């Protein structure tokens, strides 16, 4: 593998099918040419098998630059693990308790258990404001229908994740809460003017600047900002998020296989456009071959155009900086200890009363 291919791979997080990492993933991990992996229910038989799979994905890592081992474990209907990992309610239900200490504890207990398995990044919390009852994809995943409730509880939950030893990633910038289309299936369009976006959708993301180490984009067109999906919009990522909001953490794309973008562009093109727009880490949740094609496309573009190579190097630098943050978090404790931790037992009792 040449230098440019390795550079390109270091901005990709990839998922796969099955309960073992496929040969390409193992090869990229051995070459240190992938930023990380993401696991889903399809990859998991039980916690012991999950821990062994994660170990197989981290065995060759440089200790100072851990591989990102990612999961979507929000609570409620978005949870890749069942028992014995703690079952959190939907985030709206958690926030309705109006107890920020409870929200922080929920994040910390969950993170401690995920960390014991080997995860180091959770794609949570949701920063979207739930203002549309017809929204098919956000709904009770959001902490609430007002920006301040979302800010208070999302930051509390993120703080809990960090206490428990897992990095947080807020989503979905610049806001997926008022859409009436699921971006997994089609491309949503939000027609609010800029003043409304500032008042509602963008408000939690402004509060997250300097607090959350990573954010994830939305595959949504915001008419007031651009005519293309936010993930591939320089106006949204480079100008609004970086220049206006001043965010300097790592920016993930949402899954590039989702219909909102994949029906418009092949992965090789959407990934390139996302890097040009200012994203740092490209998420491909199942298509390993597509991830390989994307790496080749990025490397080729970097070889042809110095400006793109500089942007790719900047993205790699942010991806690497995020990975180094893992080493600053609490180290894992044995899984049995995490599952039986007094805080976990107390939280389960409180959640039962809440239910």
Global pTM reads 0.97
pLDDT digits (tens, 9 = 90+) for 293-311: 999 999 999 999 999 999 9
Inter-CA distances, 201 with 126, 142, 188, 301, Å:
12, 12, 15, 34
| Percentage of the chain exceeding pLDDT 90 | 92
Q: Strand pairing of 250-252 and 214-217?
A: parallel
First to last CA, the chain: 53
Spell out the residues 6+ positions from residue 249 whose beta carbon is closer than 8 angstroms to its own.
212, 213, 214, 215, 318, 322
Inter-CA distances, 293 with 70, 206, 243, 290, Å:
22, 35, 31, 5
Q: Name the token pair of 258.
A: 């989702």
Give CATH superfamily name and number for 3-354.
Glycoside hydrolase, family 3, N-terminal domain (3.20.20.300)
Nearest-Å Rg of the Cα atoms of the chain is 19
* Catalytic center residues: 184, 254
- Which pLDDT value is given to residue 58? 87
pLDDT digits (tens, 9 = 90+) for 216-260: 999 999 999 999 999 999 999 999 999 999 999 999 999 999 999
Does the pLDDT value for residue 35 go beyond 90? yes
**Mean pLDDT value of segment 150-173:** 98
- Which pLDDT value is given to residue 355? 76
Arithmetic mean of pLDDT over the chain: 95
C-alpha 239/C-alpha 241 separation (Å) is: 6
Each residue of 171-209: b (16+ CB within 10 Å) or e?
A: bbbbbbbbbebbbeeebbebebeeeebeebbbbbbebbe
With tokens 């915001």, the residue in question is 222
- Which pLDDT value is given to residue 62? 74
- Which pLDDT value is given to residue 208? 97
């Amino acid at each position: 593998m040449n230098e440019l291919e390795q550079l390109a791979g270091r901005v990709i997080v990839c998922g796969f099918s099955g309960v073992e990492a496929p040969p390409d993933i193992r090869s990229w991990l051995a070459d240190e040419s992938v930023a990380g992996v993401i696991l889903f229910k399809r990859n998991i038989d039980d916690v012991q098998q999950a821990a062994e799979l994660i170990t197989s994905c981290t065995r060759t890592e440089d200790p100072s630059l851990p591989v990102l081992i990612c999961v979507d474990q929000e609570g409620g209907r978005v949870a890749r693990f069942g028992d014995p990992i703690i079952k959190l309610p939907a985030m709206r239900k958690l926030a309705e308790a109006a107890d920020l200490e409870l929200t922080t504890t929920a994040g910390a207990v969950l993170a401690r258990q995920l960390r014991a398995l080997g995860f180091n990044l959770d794609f949570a919390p949701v920063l979207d404001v739930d203002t549309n009852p017809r929204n098919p994809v956000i709904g009770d995943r959001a902490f609430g229908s007002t920006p301040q409730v979302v800010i208070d509880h999302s930051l509390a939950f993120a703080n809990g994740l960090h206490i428990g030893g897992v990095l947080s990633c807020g989503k979905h910038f610049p806001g997926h809460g008022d859409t009436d289309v699921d971006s997994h299936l089609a491309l949503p369009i939000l027609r609010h003017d800029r003043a409304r976006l500032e008042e509602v959708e963008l408000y939690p993301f402004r509060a997250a600047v300097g607090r959350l180490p990573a954010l994830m984009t939305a595959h949504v067109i915001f008419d007031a900002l651009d005519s293309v999906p936010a993930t591939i919009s320089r106006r949204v990522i480079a100008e609004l998020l970086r220049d206006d909001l001043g965010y300097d953490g790592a920016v993930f794309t949402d899954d590039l296989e989702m219909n909102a973008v994949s029906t418009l562009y092949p992965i090789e093109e959407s990934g390139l456009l996302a890097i040009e727009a200012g994203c740092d880490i490209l998420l491909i949740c199942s298509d390993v071959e597509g991830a390989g094609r994307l790496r080749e496309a990025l490397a080729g573009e970097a070889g042809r155009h110095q400006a793109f190579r500089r942007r790719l190097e900047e993205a790699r630098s942010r991806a690497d900086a995020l990975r180094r943050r893992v080493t600053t978090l609490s180290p894992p404790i044995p899984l049995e200890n995490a599952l039986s931790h007094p805080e976990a037992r107390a939280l389960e009792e409180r959640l039962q009363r809440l239910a």
